[in-house]
């Protein structure tokens, strides 16, 4: 793209230039209609980013309106930098999950690092101190040549950025599947703690208030990251887009956190927003839009990293670690003194004006004069056609007779434990500082991460989840299961789910099949959230996740936050004591579709995903939480990928607990494979001391909920007997070794 | 015991050290800001906390040693004041020549965060006096540049003078290559100066000193220090 000239008038806006900015002819005509004149090149750049899919949500917005966003404890729903939920004691948690997929595929280390940085800024702009990071990562299959490189790069990026800022990375999930070969997913979650009456919003209110630029100097990096990189699919030219990936500086981020939290203590701070996607452009327009004001800025005052930058570049740069504050006049020096203390660049670059416009001056000349509403709200909601994809007819019908059942399950058990979707993620989380700040009560490797809230009795549990294979086979059901399972995970740690944030990763929305997947998944998620009474308080949509026409599986990742009222009643998944009884809450059905077992043993991603009976799910969760609150059980673990046998094995060798064997004695009319490895929903494996049996059984009857004793903790082996016949017997240390080392062995191999 | 905790830009275990000393062990605790020299005469202990001072974009600790506060701390240490450097603080002490040797990248070239065992090697110091015979402590590590290096001759000298305070070991106290998480020479996890008043260690005792979290083995190091006063 030709660089625009420094002085107006700029080059004539040709159809070619419009196209290079990712705008359609219709969109360009709409711009002409809305502002009544042709935009100059800088203004065209502004429209191009603000109307991009990434910033405008033009394909997804009509559907997102269907998600439940309200609840008695919701202090801030979607629309701000992050959602906020009241947790009592005068405190609230702010949280959000966000994607950084495309940058991470092109440049994994910086892409992932800046994803972490961006989500953290979304949290502390709300006035909250970030206390926990999690992430959901999806890579291609292990044999894909780039997978190992991407895995190392992404983990290294998250590790280097998160560790340096002193915010612990306490949990997450990682999946490998061929559908991500050409488009990995990096979704980063952050949660912060804030006083309920000190939440900051991103509004530029109060005419005459000063606009304060804070943080790193602006450079030429990341220009058009949002509009051209995040809002189109990958093809042969993708490598050339590397310069649109930003470079992160976690040290500056750490200083920004501390400086901003200090500024938030001052009553003359009016509003603040991160300069994220679309940089100075989106932050100024959106802040003015929220407060129904206007903004005047002089770009000559913006701290720059290099000489000769023109307004077009300054406005569209996505240089990281920058914030825009609005402060009351007369307090500029106090603000600058605080920022100087932390060694940060800062400058007053403009002020809030009454006229609902953004007016931008550079070297004494006006270079932009655009009305707010057309830019922020002008992108038309697209009513993209949706159509059920043809592939579904081919993949959902499977007959179990195609898959011979086994009489010994040892081989399948070992193969599943070694499969990277199930194997221990120790190689990954050992690279993350998961302890700093001394709040982590449950370290990585259990169903949910648990953090204490200092100076209270409370704790917070967090789980990130999505089984995208289920979503591929049935996006409605798959998304509902993601909600149910994330809730089940936090319930297993003793928490009550209080809120949800989502990151909706899909393919190209211009294709009707993709829109259908999107629409189904959002409906499934919305229905499940309504049923479980969990508000969706924030989220992010990432479309165009496809390469050369091949889309990823629909991946509507959810993060559920739960509240534990009593820190002493935190539960973990590991068995605690030899002699404890093992029981299953819920029951197992003859379901094998979409399972990890079918994928690992038969290389098939087919069949109907498990059925979710929401009412039953809720009973199971309520019962489990009740058992934990009453102090009756020693462990609780959600049954998910790999089914019952894997869940029990994981409880035998959970991190932080001693390794213990287990014996399961099952009676069943089901096939052995479905009984051991089927992924029927709404099941939780618990263990408890022998003497509690009657009490727990009585409670289960009264509830009522399905409940069965299935075995005993202890011994040096993991043994499963079905209808009197031994189906599995393995030394627990052998199984543990397979599970513990598999991912690290893969990562450590050189190609 | 009157404690000072240094805050460099990029320190991130400063609040954790403060929490343990002030709220768990009830000691008088103050912040020390990196930009100013300070009169430390009235202090009993100065803690250099973990983190990424100045981003550690050069060598870890290489910039922090030039902070004004370090002049005061070097004077304080030379006068016999007790200084504890944890993780990045250890790196700063090495860069400031208050302790001998260097910390280089972990053998794995990766950041490592996990619980490890360390064996207390010398009980006759203000930092370890309450540790008990052959005591093995469970303390977490969290670092990328934690592999201790010093030439073999100097390592011998450190041993002879009883300056090695902690070595990585297994849960039984045995020392081997497997129990050495980062490739440190002699499995060294922490050491002191000849005068035994300055100590640096890579493991984080402040991360296992709050009874509400798993493990309290780290408390014994702070308790040892408190028992000096």
The DSSP line for A87-136 is EETTEEEEEEEEE-HHHHHHSHHHHHHHHHHHHHHHHHTTTPEEEEEEEE
**Nearest residue to A489 (alpha-carbon basis) of A446, A544, A549:** A446
Average pLDDT, stretch A69-92?
A: 95
Give residue A234's pLDDT band: very low, low, confident or very high (50, 70, 90): confident
Domain that holds residue A675: 398-411+572-743
Average pLDDT over residues A702-706: 95
pLDDT one-digit tens code per residue, A554-573: 999 999 999 999 999 999 99
Q: How far is CA A142 from the centre of its chain?
A: 23
The answer, yes or no, to whether residue A3 has pLDDT greater than 80, is no
Give the confidence band of A2 by pLDDT, cuts at 50, 70, 90.
Answer: very low
pLDDT of residue A361: 96
User: Are A584 and A722 members of one domain?
Assistant: yes
Give residues 185 to 214 of B whose Cβ lies within 8 Å of A.
204, 206-207, 210, 212-214
- A298 with A209, same domain: the answer is yes
pLDDT reported for residue A4: 47
Same structural domain, A627 and A737: yes
Domain count, chain A: 2
Smallest Cα distance from B77 to chain A, Å: 27
Residue A526 has pLDDT above 60, yes or no: yes
B53 contact A CB<8A? no
Note whether A343 and A205 are same-domain residues. Answer: yes
User: Is residue A527 within 8 Å of A66, Cβ to Cβ?
Assistant: no
Burial class (CB in 10 A: 0-12, 13-18, 19+), A72: exposed
| Residue A230 pLDDT grade (very low, low, confident, very high; cuts 50, 70, 90) | low
The pLDDT tens digits of the residues spanning A369-391 come to 999 999 999 988 888 999 999 99
Predicted local confidence at residue A331, as pLDDT: 97
Q: Among A78-82, A189-193, A346-350, B45-49, which is the least confidently predicted range?
A: A78-82
* Interval A454-476 mean pLDDT: 97
Q: Mean pLDDT, to the nearest integer, of A620-638? A: 98
| Residue A708, pLDDT score | 97
Average pLDDT over residues A473-483: 98
| Residue A233 reports pLDDT greater than 80 | no
Q: Are residues A346 and A404 in the same domain?
A: no
Average pLDDT of chain A to the nearest whole number:
94
Query: What does the pLDDT look like over B146-166, one tens digit per residue?
Result: 999 999 999 999 999 999 999
Q: What is the rounded average pLDDT of the residues A436-459?
A: 96
Is A531 within a domain?
Answer: no
Rounded to whole angstroms, the Cα distance separating B11 from B52 reads 6
Residue A224 has pLDDT above 80, yes or no: no
* Domain span including residue B86: 2-226
Mean pLDDT across chain B: 96
Q: Are residues A666 and A604 in the same domain?
A: yes
Apex CA A215: angle with CA A209 and CA A218, to 5°?
100
Residue A656 counted as domain residue:
yes
pLDDT category of residue A7 using cuts at 50, 70 and 90: very low
Same domain, A356 and A402: no
Q: Is the pLDDT of residue A108 over 80?
A: yes
What mean pLDDT is predicted for residues A636-658?
96
- The answer on pLDDT for B133 being more than 80 is no
* B60: nearest CA partner in chain A: A164
Q: What length does chain A have? A: 751
Residues A577 and A725 in one domain: yes
Q: CB distance A164–B15 less than 8 Å?
A: no
pLDDT at A721: 98
**Interval A664-680: pLDDT, tens:** 999 999 999 999 999 99
Residue A297 located in a structural domain: yes
Catalytic residue, chosen from B34, B143, B144, B204, is: B204
Q: Interface of chain A against chain B, CB under 8 Å? A: 156, 159-160, 163-166, 249-252, 254-255, 341-343, 429-438, 440-441, 443, 452, 454, 567, 656
pLDDT at A226: 61
* Residue B168's CATH number: 3.40.50.880
Q: Looking at residues A699-708, what average pLDDT do you find?
A: 96
Comparing CB atoms, the residue among A166, A431, A567 nearest residue B111 is A431
Within-domain flag for A46: no
pLDDT at A38: 94
Determine, for residues A436 and B16 on separate chains, whether the beta-carbon distance falls below 8 Å. Answer: yes
pLDDT at A206 over 90: yes
Q: Which residues of A touch B109 (CB under 8 A)?
A: none
Average pLDDT for A65-73: 95
Cα–Cα distance, A587 to A682 (Å, whole number): 8
Residue A1 has pLDDT above 70, yes or no: no
Considering the candidates A54, A102, A224, A434, report the single residue annotated as catalytic: A54
pLDDT of A5 strictly over 50:
no
Cβ contact B16–A255 (<8 Å): no
Question: Are A405 and A353 within one domain?
Answer: no
Is B9 in contact with B53 (CB distance < 8 Å)?
yes
Nearest residue of A to residue B23 by CA position? A455
Per-residue pLDDT band for A56 (boundaries 50, 70, 90) equals confident
Please report the pLDDT score of residue A79 as a whole number: 87
Average pLDDT over residues A63-89: 95
pLDDT exceeding 70 applies to what percent of chain B? 99
Is A100 part of the annotated catalytic residue set? yes
User: Residue A99 and residue A136: Cα distance in Å, rounded?
Assistant: 9
* Residue A180 domain flag: no
Q: Is the Cβ pair B142, A163 closer than 8 Å?
A: yes
Digit-coded pLDDT (tens) for A134-153: 999 999 999 999 999 999 99
CA distance B57 to B72: 24
Query: How close is the nearest chain B Cα to the Cα of A433, in Å?
Result: 6
Chain A residues with beta carbon closer than 8 angstroms to that of B138? none
Same domain membership, residue A406 and residue A328: no
3-state secondary structure A628-660: HHCCCCCEEEECCCCHHHHHHHHHHCCCCCCCC
Asked if pLDDT for residue A6 goes beyond 50, the answer is no
Chain B 144-183, residues with CB within 8 Å of chain A CB atoms? 144
- Token duo for residue A124: 């502390």
- Identify the CA nearest to A275 among candidates A44, A77, A117: A117
Statement: residue A12 has pLDDT above 60: yes
Tell me the pLDDT band of A10, cut-offs 50, 70 and 90.
Answer: low
Question: What is the average pLDDT across A345-366?
Answer: 96
Q: For A29-33, B20-24, B202-206, B213-217, which range has the lowest pLDDT when averaged over its residues?
A: B213-217
Q: Is A215 left (phi over 0), alpha (psi -120 to 50) or beta?
A: left
- Total domains, chain B: 1
Same domain flag for A706 and A614: yes
A54 part of the active site: yes
| Interface touch A437/B56, C-beta < 8 Å | no
Residue A347 covered by a domain: yes
Residue A382's pLDDT is 87
What's A233's domain CATH number?
3.90.650.10
Q: Which residue of B has its CA nearest to A433?
A: B113
DSSP letter at A225?
I
Q: What is the mean pLDDT of residues A514-530?
A: 98
| Residue B191 bridge partners (DSSP) | B164, B200
Q: How far are the Cα atoms of A57, A74, A78, A272, A603 from residue A83, in angstroms, in the given order?
A: 18, 8, 6, 15, 40
Q: Is B109 on the interface with A (CB under 8 A)?
A: no
For B85-117, the pLDDT digits (tens) are 999 999 999 999 999 999 999 999 999 999 999
Mutation pick from A427, A436, A451, A576 vs chain B, by most beta carbons of B within 10 Å, is A436
Select the residue from A247, A433, A570, A656 to test the B interface by mutation, using most B Cβ atoms within 10 A: A433
Using the predicted structure, report yes or no on whether residue A31 has a pLDDT greater than 80: yes
Q: Are residues A236 and A372 part of one domain?
A: yes
With CA atoms as reference, the chain B residue closest to A170 would be B113
The backbone torsions φ and ψ at residue A605, rounded to the nearest 5 degrees and listed phi first, read: -110, 70
Comparing CA positions, the residue from A103, A113, A304, A344 lying closest to residue A219 is A304
Write down the catalytic residue from B13, B169, B206, B208: B206
Each residue's pLDDT tens digit, A148-175:
999 999 999 999 999 999 999 999 999 9
**A101 token code pair:** 């997929």
The reported pLDDT for the residue numbered A227 is 61
Q: Does B111 touch chain A (CB under 8 A)?
A: yes
């Amino acid at each position: 793209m030709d660089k625009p000239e420094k002085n107006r008038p700029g080059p004539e806006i040709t159809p070619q230039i419009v196209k290079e900015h990712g705008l359609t002819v219709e969109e360009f005509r709409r711009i002409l209609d809305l502002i009544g004149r042709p935009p100059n090149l800088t203004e065209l750049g502004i429209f191009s980013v603000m109307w991009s899919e990434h910033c405008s949500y033009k394909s997804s917005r009509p559907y997102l309106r269907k998600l439940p966003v309200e609840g008695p404890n919701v202090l801030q729903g979607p629309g701000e930098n992050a959602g906020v939920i009241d947790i009592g004691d005068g405190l609230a948690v702010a949280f959000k999950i966000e994607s950084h997929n495309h940058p991470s595929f092109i440049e994994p280390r910086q892409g992932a690092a800046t994803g972490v940085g961006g989500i953290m800024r979304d949290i502390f702009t709300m006035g909250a101190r970030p206390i926990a990071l999690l992430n959901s990562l999806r890579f291609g299959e292990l044999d894909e040549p780039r997978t190992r490189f991407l895995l190392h790069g992404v983990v290294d990026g998250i590790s280097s950025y998160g560790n340096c800022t002193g915010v612990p990375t306490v949990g997450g999930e990682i999946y490998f599947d061929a559908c991500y070969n050409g488009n990995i997913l990096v979704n980063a979650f952050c949660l912060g703690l804030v006083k309920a009456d000190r939440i900051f919003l991103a509004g530029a209110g109060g005419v005459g208030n000063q606009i304060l630029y804070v943080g790193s100097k602006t450079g030429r990096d990341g220009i058009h990251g949002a509009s051209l990189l995040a809002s189109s699919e990958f093809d042969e030219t993708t490598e050339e887009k590397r310069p649109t990936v930003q470079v992160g500086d976690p040290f500056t981020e750490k200083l920004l956190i501390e400086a901003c939290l200090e500024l938030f203590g001052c009553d003359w701070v009016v509003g603040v927003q991160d300069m994220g996607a679309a940089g100075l452009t989106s932050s100024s327009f959106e802040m003015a839009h929220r407060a129904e004001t206007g903004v005047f800025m002089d770009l000559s005052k913006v701290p720059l990293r290099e000489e000769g930058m023109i307004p077009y570049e300054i406005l569209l740069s996505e240089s990281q670690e920058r914030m825009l504050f609005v402060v009351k006049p007369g307090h500029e020096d106090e603000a600058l003194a605080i920022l100087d203390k932390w060694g940060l660049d800062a400058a007053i670059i403009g002020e809030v004006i009454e006229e609902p416009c953004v007016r931008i001056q550079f070297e004494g000349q006006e270079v932009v004069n655009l009305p707010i509403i057309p830019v922020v709200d002008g992108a038309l909601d697209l009513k993209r056609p949706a159509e059920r994809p043809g592939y579904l007819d081919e993949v959902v019908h499977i007959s179990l007779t195609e898959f011979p059942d086994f009489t010994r399950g040892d081989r399948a058990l070992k193969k599943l434990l070694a499969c990277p979707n199930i194997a221990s993620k120790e190689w990954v989380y050992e690279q993350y500082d998961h302890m700093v700040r001394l709040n982590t009560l449950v370290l990585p490797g259990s169903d949910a991460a648990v953090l204490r809230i200092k100076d209270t009795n409370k704790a917070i549990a967090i789980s990130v989840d999505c089984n995208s294979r289920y979503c591929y086979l049935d996006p409605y059901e798959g998304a509902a299961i993601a909600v149910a399972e994330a809730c089940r995970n936090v319930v297993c740690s003793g928490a009550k789910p209080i809120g949800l944030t989502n990151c909706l990763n899909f393919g190209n929305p211009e294709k009707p099949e993709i829109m259908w997947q999107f629409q189904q998944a959002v409906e499934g998620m919305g229905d499940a959230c309504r049923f479980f009474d969990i508000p969706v308080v924030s989220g992010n949509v990432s479309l165009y996740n496809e390469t050369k026409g091949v889309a990823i599986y629909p991946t509507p990742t959810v993060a559920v936050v739960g509240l534990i009222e009593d820190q002493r009643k935190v539960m973990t998944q590991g068995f605690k004591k030899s002699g404890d009884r093992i029981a299953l809450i819920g029951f197992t059905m003859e379901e094998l579709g979409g399972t990890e077992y079918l994928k690992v043993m038969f290389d098939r991603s087919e069949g109907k995903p498990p059925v979710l009976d929401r009412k039953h799910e809720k009973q199971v969760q309520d019962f489990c939480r009740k058992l934990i609150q009453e102090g009756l059980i020693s462990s609780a673990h959600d049954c998910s990928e790999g089914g019952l046998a894997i869940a029990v094995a994981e409880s035998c060798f959970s991190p932080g607990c001693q390794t213990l064997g287990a014996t399961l004695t099952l009676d069943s009319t089901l096939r052995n494979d479905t009984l051991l490895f089927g992924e029927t929903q709404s099941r939780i494996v618990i263990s408890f001391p022998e003497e509690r049996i009657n009490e727990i059984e009585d409670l289960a009857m009264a509830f009522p909920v399905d409940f069965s004793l299935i075995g005993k903790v202890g011994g040096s082996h993991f043994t499963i007997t079905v209808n009197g016949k031994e189906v599995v017997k393995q030394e627990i240390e052998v199984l543990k070794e397979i599970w513990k080392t598999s991912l690290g062995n893969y990562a450590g191999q050189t190609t | 015991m009157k404690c000072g905790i240094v805050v460099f830009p990029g320190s991130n275990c400063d609040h954790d050290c403060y929490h343990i000393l002030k709220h768990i062990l009830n000691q008088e605790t103050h912040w020390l800001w990196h930009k100013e020299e300070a009169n430390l005469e009235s202090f009993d202990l100065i803690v250099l906390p973990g983190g990424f001072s100045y981003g550690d974009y050069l060598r870890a600790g290489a910039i922090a040693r030039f902070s004004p506060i370090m002049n005061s701390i070097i004077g304080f240490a030379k006068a016999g004041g007790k200084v504890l450097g944890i993780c990045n603080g250890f790196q700063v002490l090495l860069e400031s020549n208050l302790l001998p040797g260097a910390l280089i990248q972990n053998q794995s070239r990766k950041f490592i965060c996990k619980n490890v065992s360390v064996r207390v090697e010398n009980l006759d110091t203000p930092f370890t006096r309450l540790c008990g015979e052959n005591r093995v402590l469970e303390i977490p590590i969290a670092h990328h540049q934690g592999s201790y290096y010093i030439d073999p001759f100097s390592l011998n000298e450190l041993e002879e003078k009883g300056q090695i305070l902690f070595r990585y070991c297994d849960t039984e106290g045995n020392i081997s290559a497997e129990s050495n998480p980062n490739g440190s020479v002699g499995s060294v996890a922490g050491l002191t100066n000849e005068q035994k008043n300055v100590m640096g260690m890579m493991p984080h005792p402040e991360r296992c000193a709050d009874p509400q979290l798993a493990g309290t083995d780290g408390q014994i190091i702070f308790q040892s220090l408190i028992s000096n006063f």
